[in-house]
Chains A and B, each alone.
Chain A
């Protein structure tokens, strides 16, 4: 929202602060300012001048104008405008001499666009008045831009008058009210108003004018609107925009001759009702939308935009001027449904003050007399409204206020602040104020005593509050074991050489399909940033895959990991969010073997004693290199090599762990086992098995024959080649046996060994003994 400094100063006549300091005051006490920009700068240098003669400069399209600039004397100015002619009064800007096409020019004659009044640069501005005089109500301005978000809760600050009230309160100055309510005509209205639902439209006020002249606005009005970023349309429309920008009351002017019947209806749209708006678009409406209608159909979309056919044109001579109040949420719903945000809808959705409708009309009566000379009112104010109860006053205990702020504010100061903001203050009992809420603060903004803490706090200035340590009991906070567990996992993987990445939670359908997942199984974003970010990830693997490909462009080998949430659809409620770890080891060279065993080793750092169980490969996995990780009786993850089809050069080994499962199985209490006092014995056992027999299987098979004295059985090596037959290998294990009670005799050890050999033979294995 842009605020004109000049406008504010008109409403706060005593304002002496320059725009810069004023901006800082507003930021500290009211709302965030985003900066101050100059507007209409050229106007600081201009005076009225009469062109005394205008001679063409040979060989150019330029004119050499001799001007009378009053007290600034007579000057010679080079001018390129086609309308430069003797006798005209225009604006001369005293901006120094320069030479144009060899002719010296003393200052310049300015177009309306150069002066910042509008966008017209077809010629120099045509004015009236005496040379040397000032331009009527035109002067350089400064624009203070306020962050819209910071005034979301303040319907009154969407107009200059509201901001002027703040400025007056901050500086202790008097506020000038530009509205003269006694200008409102009495008598029977010339138009009837019929409101279907007062909840949606608490108040609708209108005035009818005749003998209207539609034409350009005076320059001062155009300049005002231009300064705050609004285009000038014509005097009538400009007047409505001016009042909206001043009083925060959106208004709309209809051509009265184009309205059918004598009644304006405010009703819900019919299902499928078509509405042609003045922006050239046609909208199909439904009963959630509120329309302004005549007897023939919709002539306005309430609070959002007027209709095309009934809008003001050069032919208009009679006008119905609407100044209404609409329910904020209804306007917002309609505006977001048809995706059209207008200056009007932006204000109405903040919950405007119903008392403001007639203020807008009164201001219009005054302005129209100036900008449409000869205009006449027809009848009195047309009105329909529901009874709006005054807001209940709020009791403000002053001791409570001091406790909330953490400093004491003298009673008289609290009263002064509230009264400057036009709250009504009484003191029904000592130490307690009863605070009446002005209508423009009562719609949405202020309803509880905490809201008044803010009013007092910001005005005394939060900088006046000394920091104070809170007096609260010390307590050990409840633990968050899951988070701690994930931090521990991060440490383990970082220690094992993995670098942490963060990936987006979004996936493309393409990436999902590349991994053989079903897009329909994914939670879908209804309004994605881009079509390739529409699915919520059910796996971290596509992200890790992208990390592998991206980094393989720069690195020969690397390790990376991510801890993040998989999001799984559920038939009701919120989706299931499962924390996972995905890690990758990439090597451009080699056969991939080392990487695969490294991810396995890394997994074992976390999952002590986990078992790899060969698993059927999924489409993105190397068909002969994938395994489930079994740990404490559950499958907690998987490791595999990415299918070489997915990796252009090099090999990528991947680990994927369900951290929720791992965490739930972790944390078993440790129980000390006494250290053995008697020495153990060890012997080697070599099993001959088919080439693709799994060492892990052989190991568990052999272990089952060892009996209760087995301490450990460890893989030592494997060998294939002569003298073993083709297609077989020998796998050697070191078997350690012992007893906590005694040293085993060599006979006992020999018996265990024999039992194992016999058992394995029983399973069909040869043993090399």
Chain B
């Protein structure tokens, strides 16, 4: 007969738990039903008065009621906590389309980008990256490259002269000489850098521009090797197969000397405005290193030979990025520089 009050308590408490809207409501139910002075505790104390045969079944009932209520309380508590978290997080709505604060990453100069790409490429092919001074002496810029004083080839490069016969290097080729002097053969080197020519500036001419000189000296280096190397290199630079051709060109520090043309990347050969309808674009001068140059730098041309080439970094950057006015490159205008 004591069964029904417990069942009644359980039913009443479960209803209150289900209706609880807060932690406090739940706590009240817990105290009322499961508290030390609550009906379950009371019933427990009275259990001893029961005849032994009833005591067991009453105990079981008591336990199940307690367990049911505790489970219901915990479940309801979880629901309430989830709801509270949900409300809080909802209140934390953010407009994620707002711009992120702080400074933006800056931009490398387009020539730096090209130059690094080439430095990495050449290093992967075993070439050292060398530096030389921008102010050179006549010996390294001219004489050691087989361009003696009063040689008409000096006209090929209008020179800025400084005091004491020094000059602003007209090409990166003097670094070849310094490389040969310092490292000796066998040698694989490039020298990217700033060069100067005394020319007026317009959309396609600059007195300050960038070159990359390259040289390889080893035993038995042939024109066929030069061709292979140039093809490999240019394919990597332009990220596509390039067709190259050599034709005679005169540069005193190489013999034989070549102009290297690539098949026009715009039209692929039939001719267009970019290649002036010829199908070919003149890209770089190169050749086998003149034995006189080797000898002047203390290398025996009967044992060693090599090739050298000069790549116009400025020109390459202009081709790569479609820059139509060379003056942008030294102009310092962020509206230009931030595009790279």
Complex CA gap A326/B173 in Å reads 31
Complex CA gap A474/B221 in Å reads 15
Verify if B116 is at the interface (C-beta below 8 Å from A): yes
The answer to whether B247 touches A27 (Cβ under 8 A) is yes
Give the contacting residue for B150; candidates A332, A478, A502; CB below 8 A: A332
Verify if A58 is at the interface (C-beta below 8 Å from B): no
The answer to whether A577 touches B134 (Cβ under 8 A) is yes
B103-141 CB contacts (< 8 Å) to partner A: 103-109, 111-112, 116, 119, 123, 126-131, 133-137
The answer to whether A453 touches B288 (Cβ under 8 A) is yes
Determine how close the nearest CB of chain A comes to the CB of B313; give it in whole angstroms: 11
Verify if A704 is at the interface (C-beta below 8 Å from B): no
Interface of B is mostly: mixed
B146-160 CB contacts (< 8 Å) to partner A: 149-153, 155-156, 160
Give the contacting residue for A475; candidates B126, B220, B305; CB below 8 A: B126
Give the contacting residue for B207; candidates A407, A470, A524, A529; CB below 8 A: A529
Give the contacting residue for B221; candidates A470, A490, A503, A527; CB below 8 A: A470
Give the contacting residue for B106; candidates A457, A498, A550, A567; CB below 8 A: A498
Complex CA gap A574/B174 in Å reads 14
The answer to whether A468 touches B288 (Cβ under 8 A) is no
Verify if B194 is at the interface (C-beta below 8 Å from A): yes
Give the contacting residue for A472; candidates B161, B166, B218; CB below 8 A: B218
Q: Knowing A152-B156, A577-B135 touch, does A457 contact B256 (C-beta < 8 A)?
A: yes
Complex CA gap A567/B330 in Å reads 18
A426-457 CB contacts (< 8 Å) to partner B: 448, 450-451, 453-454, 457
Could you say which of A29-37, A361-369, A728-736 contacts chain B?
A29-37
Verify if A560 is at the interface (C-beta below 8 Å from B): yes
Q: Knowing A404-B288, A523-B162 touch, does A483 contact B129 (C-beta < 8 A)?
A: yes
The answer to whether A463 touches B245 (Cβ under 8 A) is yes
Determine how close the nearest CB of chain A comes to the CB of B164; give it in whole angstroms: 8
Complex CA gap A27/B282 in Å reads 12
Could you say which of B69-77, B82-90, B227-235 contacts chain A?
B227-235
Complex CA gap A197/B293 in Å reads 31
The answer to whether B126 touches A470 (Cβ under 8 A) is no
* Residue from B228, B255, B258 having most chain A Cβ neighbours under 10 A: B255
Complex CA gap A535/B322 in Å reads 32
The answer to whether B126 touches A500 (Cβ under 8 A) is no
Verify if B15 is at the interface (C-beta below 8 Å from A): no
The answer to whether B332 touches A528 (Cβ under 8 A) is no
Give the contacting residue for B123; candidates A350, A404, A477, A561; CB below 8 A: A477
The answer to whether B156 touches A462 (Cβ under 8 A) is no
The answer to whether B112 touches A500 (Cβ under 8 A) is yes
Query: Quick one: closest B residue to A470, CB to CB?
Result: B225
Complex CA gap A605/B76 in Å reads 54
The answer to whether A329 touches B131 (Cβ under 8 A) is no
Determine how close the nearest CB of chain B comes to the CB of A154; give it in whole angstroms: 8
Verify if B38 is at the interface (C-beta below 8 Å from A): no
Chain A residues whose CB sits within 8 angstroms of the CB of B109 once the complex forms: 500-502
The answer to whether B161 touches A404 (Cβ under 8 A) is no
Chain A residues whose CB sits within 8 angstroms of the CB of B150 once the complex forms: 328-329, 332-333, 349
The answer to whether B334 touches A465 (Cβ under 8 A) is no
Verify if B291 is at the interface (C-beta below 8 Å from A): yes
Chain B residues whose CB sits within 8 angstroms of the CB of A543 once the complex forms: 332
The answer to whether A477 touches B128 (Cβ under 8 A) is yes
Complex CA gap A497/B215 in Å reads 37
Query: Quick one: closest A residue to B335, CB to CB?
Result: A554
Verify if A653 is at the interface (C-beta below 8 Å from B): no
Verify if A149 is at the interface (C-beta below 8 Å from B): yes
Determine how close the nearest CB of chain A comes to the CB of B117; give it in whole angstroms: 12
Verify if A261 is at the interface (C-beta below 8 Å from B): no
Q: How many residues of A contact B (CB 8 A)?
A: 89
Verify if B297 is at the interface (C-beta below 8 Å from A): no
Verify if A482 is at the interface (C-beta below 8 Å from B): yes
Verify if A487 is at the interface (C-beta below 8 Å from B): yes
Verify if B57 is at the interface (C-beta below 8 Å from A): no
The answer to whether A29 touches B112 (Cβ under 8 A) is no
* Residue from A30, A451, A468, A559 having most chain B Cβ neighbours under 10 A: A468
Chain A residues whose CB sits within 8 angstroms of the CB of B252 once the complex forms: 153
Q: Knowing A467-B231, A523-B162, A559-B103 touch, does A550 contact B291 (C-beta < 8 A)?
A: no
Complex CA gap A448/B200 in Å reads 38
The answer to whether A476 touches B126 (Cβ under 8 A) is yes
The answer to whether A555 touches B334 (Cβ under 8 A) is yes
Determine how close the nearest CB of chain B comes to the CB of A393; give it in whole angstroms: 18
Q: Knowing A457-B256, A480-B129 touch, does A525 contact B224 (C-beta < 8 A)?
A: no
Verify if B329 is at the interface (C-beta below 8 Å from A): yes
Give the contacting residue for B333; candidates A350, A477, A500, A551; CB below 8 A: A551
Complex CA gap A568/B162 in Å reads 13
Interface size class of B (residues with CB under 8 A): 35 or more
Complex CA gap A498/B305 in Å reads 45
Complex CA gap A551/B330 in Å reads 14
A459-506 CB contacts (< 8 Å) to partner B: 462-463, 465-478, 480, 482-483, 487, 490, 493-506
Verify if B163 is at the interface (C-beta below 8 Å from A): yes
Verify if B300 is at the interface (C-beta below 8 Å from A): no
The answer to whether B225 touches A469 (Cβ under 8 A) is yes
Complex CA gap A453/B123 in Å reads 31
Determine how close the nearest CB of chain B comes to the CB of A6; give it in whole angstroms: 24
Chain B residues whose CB sits within 8 angstroms of the CB of A450 once the complex forms: 255-256, 288, 290-291
The answer to whether B256 touches A453 (Cβ under 8 A) is yes
Complex CA gap A332/B245 in Å reads 34
Instruction: Write the A505-547 contact mask toward B (1 if CB under 8 angstroms, else 0).
Output: 1100000000000000001111111000000100000010011
Chain B residues whose CB sits within 8 angstroms of the CB of A495 once the complex forms: 105-106
Query: Quick one: closest B residue to A151, CB to CB?
Result: B250
The answer to whether A403 touches B220 (Cβ under 8 A) is yes
Query: Quick one: closest B residue to A546, CB to CB?
Result: B332
Give the contacting residue for B223; candidates A457, A504, A525, A536; CB below 8 A: A457
Verify if B44 is at the interface (C-beta below 8 Å from A): no
Give the contacting residue for B149; candidates A28, A329, A451, A477; CB below 8 A: A329
Verify if B246 is at the interface (C-beta below 8 Å from A): yes
B187-243 CB contacts (< 8 Å) to partner A: 188-189, 194, 196, 198-201, 207-208, 216, 218, 220-225, 227-229, 231
The answer to whether A499 touches B291 (Cβ under 8 A) is no
The answer to whether B196 touches A505 (Cβ under 8 A) is yes
Q: Knowing A480-B128, A494-B108 touch, does A468 contact B222 (C-beta < 8 A)?
A: yes
The answer to whether B227 touches A504 (Cβ under 8 A) is no
Determine how close the nearest CB of chain B comes to the CB of A596; give it in whole angstroms: 15
Chain B residues whose CB sits within 8 angstroms of the CB of A473 once the complex forms: 186
Complex CA gap A450/B256 in Å reads 7
The answer to whether A465 touches B218 (Cβ under 8 A) is no
Complex CA gap A740/B80 in Å reads 49
A134-168 CB contacts (< 8 Å) to partner B: 149-154
Verify if A14 is at the interface (C-beta below 8 Å from B): no
The answer to whether A149 touches B334 (Cβ under 8 A) is no
Verify if B268 is at the interface (C-beta below 8 Å from A): no
Verify if A208 is at the interface (C-beta below 8 Å from B): no
Verify if B249 is at the interface (C-beta below 8 Å from A): yes
Verify if A270 is at the interface (C-beta below 8 Å from B): no
Chain B residues whose CB sits within 8 angstroms of the CB of A500 once the complex forms: 106-109, 112, 337
Chain A residues whose CB sits within 8 angstroms of the CB of B186 once the complex forms: 472-473, 475
Q: Knowing A468-B228, A502-B329, A529-B200 touch, does A560 contact B135 (C-beta < 8 A)?
A: no
Verify if B298 is at the interface (C-beta below 8 Å from A): no
Which 10 residue pairs are nearest across A and B when measured between Cβ atoms? A406-B224, A406-B222, A454-B256, A497-B103, A329-B150, A467-B228, A468-B224, A462-B246, A470-B225, A477-B128
22 contacts between A and B (CB under 8 A): A31-B248, A153-B153, A403-B220, A457-B223, A470-B221, A470-B225, A471-B220, A477-B129, A477-B189, A482-B131, A483-B129, A497-B104, A499-B338, A501-B109, A526-B160, A550-B333, A554-B334, A555-B334, A560-B106, A561-B106, A574-B166, A577-B134
Known contacts A467-B231, A470-B222; 13 additional CB pairs below 8 A are A28-B247, A30-B248, A149-B250, A350-B152, A405-B224, A406-B223, A454-B248, A462-B227, A462-B246, A466-B227, A470-B218, A497-B106, A559-B103
